[in-house]
């Protein structure tokens, strides 16, 4: 296996102007244990097969509440897409971090909405019993197959959460109670915080502190945040200092971490070095889990940041980072 990896690296020698054997030996000397690495947004059997062969241990992805409990076209629950993801997870041995998020149209507190409205899903549910029942239902359906659940996504941005901090505490409370009722070993992860202004909607820089002040910590097993650009140390220090202020010593996960190769962004070599160096830094900081964003580019618009975050292109051709990750993940397994 290592010979195959070195052969692949050698074919890229002229592209990133490094001795591939030196790169491999350097990675061999670094510590890997105690941090598991996953990938975000896989959707097909092929995605899971490739990720498993590379050595990824986790997948962060799922189907939104709004995409399961649809109450449309004669369906109450629609499980086909969710079942396929879970079956692929079980088949390949990749563990799942499933985000529980996004309100269906019929339960949105926006009011007077239809399923065609553009942002109903970002509003809190108007009925917490419905939310509790959904969380309990999905946890029972996938009991023993999914044990880690992330409650919402970037709730400090109004683009994803148009409720208050108080309403989020209520949301995670009901999710926590439902998940623990089904299986006390379920891990409840606070939705990964953006910790920065994304340029869409408003950003609440005090979300975490307000959450802790309101007692939300009693409904959390793990705290999470997202990392893009040169923000890792600043965001880690903010999270750790704020949690210490409130006596919290629970684990930290990074549930989105990536670099875009769009025009004006990172080169493919730059993306590779950013991701590998970031993984090593996070390991040294004591981060327990890291989810790289994302598996494949989501589009072919070379000038769009979000379309070019993948470690593979849309046609499954690998970017340079893939070959670095093959070494990193394989050696991580050997040294665990």
Top mean pLDDT of 22-31, 152-161, 190-199 is at: 152-161
- In the chain, the percentage of residues whose pLDDT exceeds 70 is 90
Helices 2-11, 20-28: inter-axial angle, 10-degree rounding: 140
Structural domains in the chain?
2-335 (3.20.20.80)
Element (H, E) at 294: none
> Which is more confident, 261 or 335?
261
55/61 Cα distance (integer angstroms): 17
- pLDDT: which is higher, 4 or 180: 180
58 phi, psi to nearest 5 deg:
-135, 155
CB contact set of 258 (below 8 Å; sequence gap of 6+)? 40, 228, 275, 292, 293, 294, 309
Strands 36-40, 223-228: pairing is unpaired
| Residue 330: predicted pLDDT | 86
Tell which residue, 301, 211, 127, has the closest CA to residue 135.
127
> Residue 15 — pLDDT band, cuts 50, 70, 90?
very low
Mean pLDDT of 73-87: 96
Find out whether 260 and 8 touch, Cβ atoms under 8 Å.
no
Query: Could you tell me the two tokens for 172?
Result: 């995670």
Task: Look over the chain and give the mean of its residue pLDDT values, rounded to a whole number.
Answer: 92
How would you classify the pairing of strands 252-258 and 289-292? parallel
120 contacts: CB under 8 Å, gap ≥ 6: 66, 103, 105, 108, 110, 113
Residue 17 pLDDT exceeds 50: no
What are the tokens at 248?
């919290």
């Amino acid at each position: 296996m290592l010979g195959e990896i070195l052969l692949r690296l050698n074919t890229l020698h002229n592209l990133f102007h490094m001795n591939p054997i030196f790169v491999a030996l350097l990675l061999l000397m670094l510590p890997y244990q105690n941090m598991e690495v996953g990938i975000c947004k896989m959707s097909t059997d092929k995605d899971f097969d490739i990720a498993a062969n590379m050595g990824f241990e986790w997948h962060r992805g799922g189907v939104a509440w709004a995409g399961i409990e649809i109450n449309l076209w004669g369906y109450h629950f629609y499980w086909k897409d969710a079942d396929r993801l879970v079956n692929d997870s079980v088949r390949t041995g990749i563990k799942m971090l499933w985000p529980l998020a996004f309100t269906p149209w019929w339960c949105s507190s926006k009011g007077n909405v239809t399923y065609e409205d553009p942002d109903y899903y970002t509003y809190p549910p108007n009925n917490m019993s419905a939310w509790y029942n959904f969380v309990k239902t999905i946890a029972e359906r996938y009991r023993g197959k999914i044990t880690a659940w992330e409650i919402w996504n970037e709730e400090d941005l109004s683009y994803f959460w148009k409720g208050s901090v108080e309403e989020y505490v209520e949301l995670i409370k009901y999710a926590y109670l439902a998940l623990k009722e089904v299986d006390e070993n379920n891990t409840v992860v606070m939705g990964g915080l953006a910790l920065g202004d994304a340029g869409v909607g408003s950003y609440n820089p005090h979300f975490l502190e307000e959450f802790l002040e309101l007692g939300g910590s009693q409904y959390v097993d793990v705290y999470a945040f997202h990392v893009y650009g040169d923000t890792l140390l600043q965001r880690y220090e903010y999270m750790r200092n704020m949690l210490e202020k409130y006596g919290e010593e629970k684990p930290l996960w990074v549930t989105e971490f990536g670099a875009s190769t769009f025009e004006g962004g990172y080169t493919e070599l730059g993306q590779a070095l950013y991701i590998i160096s970031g993984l090593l830094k996070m390991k040294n900081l004591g981060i327990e889990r890291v989810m790289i964003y994302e598996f494949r580019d989501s589009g072919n618009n070379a000038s769009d940041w979000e379309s070019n975050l993948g470690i593979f292109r849309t046609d499954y051709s690998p970017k340079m980072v893939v070959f670095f990750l093959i070494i990193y993940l394989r050696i991580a397994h050997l040294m665990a």
